[in-house]
Amino acid sequence: MSATAATTKRSAKAAMGPFGQVGKIVDELDDRLGVAKGGRVFLDKIFPDHWSFMLGEISLYSFVVLLATGIFLSLYFVPSTQQVIYHGSYRPLDGQWVSEAFKSTVSISFDVRGGLLVRQMHHWGADIFTGSIIVHMARIFFTGAFRKPRELNWIIGTTMLILAILEGFIGYSLPDDLISGTGLRIGYSIAESIPFVGSYLVTFLWGGQFPGTGIIIPRFFIIHVLIIPLVLLGLVSVHLGLLVRQKHTQFAGEGRTEHNVVGSPMFPTFMAKTTGFLFMVTAATALLGAFVQINPIWQFGSYDASKISYAVQPDWYMGWLDGALRIMPSWEFAGWGHTIPFEVLLPAVVFPGLIFTIALMWPALERKVTGDDELHNLLDRPRDRPKRTAAGAAMFALLFTLFGASSTDVLANFFHISLNEVLWFFRIAVIVIPIVAGLVTYQLCREMQGVHGIGKRKRPVIVQRSVQGEYTTVPTPPRPDDMHTELDPEPVPVRIDIEPLSNGGTGEPESSPTGVRQVTR
Which residue's CB is nearer to other proteins, number 309 or number 449?
309
206 makes contact with other proteins (CB under 8 A): yes
Question: Residue 456: enclosing H or E segment and its boundaries?
Answer: none
The nearest distance, CB 324 to other proteins, in angstroms, is 10
334 binds other proteins (CB under 8 A): yes
Span near other proteins by CB under 8 A; candidates 140-148, 239-247, 351-359, 393-401: 239-247
Residue 406 to residues 282, 313, 426, Cα–Cα distance (Å): 30, 7, 10
- Contact with other proteins (CB under 8 A): which of 479, 491, 520, 521? 491
Q: Is 138 helix (H, G, I), strand (E, B) or coil?
A: helix
Of 192, 315, 366, 380, the residue at the interface with other proteins (CB under 8 A) is: 192
Gap between the Cα atoms of 379 and 385, Å rounded: 11
Q: Angle 264-267-273 (CA atoms, 0-180°, nearest 5)?
A: 70
Number of Cβ within 10 Å of residue 362's Cβ equals: 20
**Could you tell me the sign of the dihedral formed by the alpha carbons of 380, 383, 387, 390, in that order?**
positive
Query: How many other C-beta atoms are found inside a 10 Å radius of the C-beta of residue 446?
Result: 12
138 vs 264, which CB is nearer to other proteins?
Answer: 264
| Binding residues for other proteins restricted to 399-438, rule: CB under 8 A | 408-409, 419-420, 423
Q: Which is nearer to other proteins, 461 or 494 (CB)?
A: 494
Give the number of residues in contact with other proteins, rule: CB under 8 A: 133
Contact status, residue 412 vs residue 422, Cβ threshold 8 Å: yes
Toward other proteins, which CB reaches closer, 34 or 477?
34
Residue 43 and residue 272 in contact, taking contact as beta carbons nearer than 8 Å? no
Nearer to other proteins, 37 or 446 (CB): 37
- With binding defined as CB under 8 A, does residue 193 bind other proteins? yes
- Distances in Å between the Cα of 155 and the Cα atoms of 56, 86, 158, 296, 519 are 15, 46, 5, 36, 40
Q: Which is nearer to other proteins, 237 or 512 (CB)?
A: 512
Q: How far is the CB of 253 from other proteins (least distance, A)?
A: 10
Determine phi and psi for 340, rounding to 5 degrees.
-120, 110
Interface of this chain with other proteins, residues 101 to 160, rule: CB under 8 A: 113-114, 116-117, 120-121, 149
Cβ at position 12, least distance to other proteins in Å:
10
474 membership: H or E segment, kind and range: strand 471-475
* Beta pairing, strands 338-341 & 332-335: antiparallel
Candidates 73, 194, 349, 430: give the one binding other proteins (CB under 8 A).
Answer: 194
Contact pattern from residue 243 through residue 282 relative to other proteins, giving x for each residue in contact according to CB under 8 A and a dash for the rest: --xxx-------x--xxxxxxxx--xxxxxx-xxxxxxxx
CA distance 266 to 46: 6
Dihedral pair phi/psi, residue 146, rounded to 5°: -85, -5
Farthest CA pair distance, the chain: 104
User: Burial level of 207, CB count in 10 A (0-12/13-18/19+)?
Assistant: middle
CA distance linking residue 501 with residue 504, whole number of Å: 6
Smallest gap from Cβ 210 to other proteins, in A, equals 5
217 and 83 in contact (C-beta within 8 Å)? no
How long is the chain? Answer: 521
Q: State yes or no: residue 8 binds other proteins (CB under 8 A).
A: no
Q: 124 or 393: whose CB is closer to other proteins?
A: 124
497 binding other proteins? (CB under 8 A)? no
Out of 56, 70, 79, 289, name the contact with other proteins by CB under 8 A: 289
Q: Please list every residue from 456 through 485 that binds other proteins, using CB under 8 A.
A: none
Q: Indicate the residue among 347 and 392 with the shorter CB distance to other proteins.
A: 347
| Interface region with other proteins, contact rule CB under 8 A, candidates 133-141, 161-169, 318-326, 425-433 | 318-326
Q: What are phi and psi of 462, to 5 degrees?
A: -90, 125
Q: What is the DSSP letter of 407?
A: T
Contact flag: residue 15 with other proteins (CB under 8 A): yes
From 4, 306, 473, 518, residue interacting with other proteins (rule: CB under 8 A): 306
**Residue 202 or 399 having the CB closest to other proteins:** 202
Among 100-108, 384-392, 393-401, 505-513, the segment contacting other proteins (CB under 8 A): 505-513
Tell me the C-alpha distance between 301 and 99, whole Å: 10
- Residue ranges in 383-402 that form contacts with other proteins under rule CB under 8 A: none
Of 43-51, 233-241, 379-387, 468-476, which part binds other proteins (CB under 8 A)? 43-51
| 165-173, 424-432, 447-455, 502-510 -> range binding other proteins (CB under 8 A) | 502-510
By the rule CB under 8 A, 209 interacts with other proteins = yes
Cα 30 from Cα 269, distance rounded (Å): 25
**Strands, E assignment, 366-470:** 378-379, 461-465
Closer CB to other proteins, residue 286 or residue 398? Answer: 286
Choice from 69, 182, 389, 401 touching other proteins (CB under 8 A)? 182
Residue 286 makes contact with other proteins by CB under 8 A: yes
**CA-CA distance, 366 to 151, in Å (whole number)?**
11
Which residue lies nearer to other proteins by CB, 1 or 311? 311
CB of 110 or CB of 396, closer to other proteins: 110
Residue closer to other proteins by CB (options 392, 404) is 404
Q: Give the SS3 label for residue 259.
A: coil
- Pick out residues in 46-85 that bind other proteins (CB under 8 A): 46, 49, 81, 83
Let me know: does 129 contact 98? Beta carbons within 8 Å. Answer: no
Shortest CB 449 distance to other proteins, Å = 28
